[in-house]
Amino acid sequence: QQQVKQSPQSLIVQKGGISIINCAYENTAFDYFPWYQQFPGKGPALLIAIRPDVSEKKEGRFTISFNKSAKQFSLHIMDSQPGDSATYFCAASMAHQKVTFGIGTKLQVIP
C-alpha cells in the first residue's frame, strides 16, 4: 500500500522557471512532512519540512504548500537553476514511527 503518492516521476523545467512536485498522503495521523533532495551518486539530504499546523513554509527559493483537508502537499522551486537538478522525495511520518517516502521525482533544469 503506497501511503505517499508522488507526481510527476520526472520533470523538465527551463532555467528561471517554477518547478512543482506534488504529493498526497492517506494516513491522517502523519504529522511531519519533509522533502529530501538527492544528487547523483549521493545520499538524500533534508531540504525542507513542514508540520500540518501551517499551510506554507518558505526557505529561500523552496516553498512547501500544505493542504490538510485535501491531504496534499507540494514543493515549489522558484527561479529554478541547473544546480537544482536532482531527485526529490517527499515523505511523511508520525512520532516514533518510520518515515514513508514517495517514489521520487527526477528534476532536470535546462539552461
Partner 1 sequence: NAGVTQTPKFRVLKTGQSMTLLCAQDMNHEYMYWYRQDPGMGLRLIHYSVGEGTTAKGEVPDGYNVSRLKKQNFLLGLESAAPSQTSVYFCASRSGGEARTQYFGPGTRLTVL
**Interface with partner 1 (CB under 8 A):** 6, 9, 32, 34, 36, 41-46, 49, 89, 93, 95-96, 98-99, 101-104
SS3 109: strand
- Judged by CB, which is closer to partner 1: 62, or 101? 101
- Judged by CB, which is closer to partner 1: 40, or 111? 40
Q: How far is CA 69 from CA 19, 25, 55, 66, in A?
A: 23, 11, 11, 9
- Judged by CB, which is closer to partner 1: 36, or 73? 36
Cell of 40: 547523483
Number of C-beta neighbours around residue 83 at 10 A: 8
Nearest approach in angstroms of CB 42 to partner 1 is 6
